[in-house]
A and B are shown apart, each in its own frame.
Chain A
Amino acid sequence: MSDSSYLHTSETPDAIAKRLMQKAHNRDGLPEIALGVLFLFFAGLEGLQVVFLPGSPAYRASSWGLMLLCLTQPLALPWTITQVRRRFLIDKVGYVALKPVNRKLSATIIGLAFVIGAAAAFAVSRGIEISSPSGWILATTGIFGGAIAAFGGRSPRFAIGGVSMAAAGILLAFSGVSLNMGLTILFGFTGLLSFVSGSIVFLILLRQPTATGEIG
């Protein structure tokens, strides 16, 4: 591979590093697998709210589960991916110690996740149904989720996943399904797609020969 093929004259060294690190981050498929598992969990919990009546123990348990997912995943997901790489994939992807996370940013993410999770759990556990704008919620969830995946992932795989999520959200919005059912299908479909695509990339990586990481 040519070293200079990665360098664009219009890019600063920081932009080059950011782009290359993002590419490296997506190389083993783990972020997609983790996101897929998260979305499938989310879809499962939403599915419980379709099956069980509001106020029932299973319904309440799923509400708390959703809140816990929203609270823990922003930090737990990156941590888990790092640990898996360091423990099982160090010979394939190498070792990197990232700079400490900005504390202010972490606090903001945790705070936002807590507020959203608590509000959602409260609304759902009280059986508050947002009936009329459910189509809009499904469409915007699909479009925003898809846009974040497509632009955040910076790779064709993520772009395809993002477009699929947006399309699914729009289709569900017009289908007239309930909000819970719509979210179950949306996250179930996107989660499965992400999991399968990440798994394929991961298996391809495992089949690649391991290079020795020594300097002469």
Chain B
Amino acid sequence: MSTKIQRLAEIDRIIHEPARLMIVALLASVEEADFQYLRQTAGLTQGNLSTHLSKLNEAGYVAIEKTFRGKYPLTMCRLTEHGKKVLDSYRTIIKGAL
């Protein structure tokens, strides 16, 4: 039991932040989503979401691609394989500690 709680020290700090956890959890539930969908669904401001996505992108957890659907510009976000592994590990540690 104590070992499981001690594992909390190994928790990924980038994902553990509430807004980023929400973004990563949302992206884990879908194939991919655009900036607008994430903003609306998570209820974050444009600047806030932009900052968090940049951090997740820098860490290699989220892949960001700018594209078009018809004439509408889309900023598509997708959880990378590395991001999925980090989220799985986060789940395991949290469940173990709880």
Which chain A residues have a beta carbon within 8 Å of chain B's beta carbons?
A: 1-7, 12-14, 16-18, 20-21, 23-24, 27, 86, 90-91, 93-100, 211-216
| B38: A residues at CB distance < 8 A | 94
Main secondary structure, interface of B, reads: helix
| B28: A residues at CB distance < 8 A | 13-14, 17
CA distance A216 to B64 in the complex (A): 12
| A96: B residues at CB distance < 8 A | 30, 32-34, 37
Distance in Å from the Cβ of B89 to the closest Cβ of chain A?
A: 12
5 A-B pairs with least C-beta separation: A94-B37, A94-B36, A213-B36, A13-B25, A3-B19
How many pairs of A and B residues are in contact by the CB < 8 Å rule?
A: 123
User: Are A213 and B73 neighbours in the complex by a CB distance under 8 Å?
Assistant: yes
CA distance A76 to B72 in the complex (A): 26
**Of B28, B33, B41, B44, which is in contact with the most chain A CB atoms at under 10 Å from its CB?**
B41
Interface size on B, residues (CB 8 A): 45
| A216: B residues at CB distance < 8 A | 47, 50, 54
User: Are A94 and B35 neighbours in the complex by a CB distance under 8 Å?
Assistant: yes
Main secondary structure, interface of A, reads: mixed
**Of B25, B32, B34, B42, which is in contact with the most chain A CB atoms at under 10 Å from its CB?**
B25
Kindly identify which residue among A4, A12, A99 contacts B94, using a CB–CB cutoff of 8 Å: A12
CA distance A24 to B42 in the complex (A): 9
| B49: A residues at CB distance < 8 A | 215
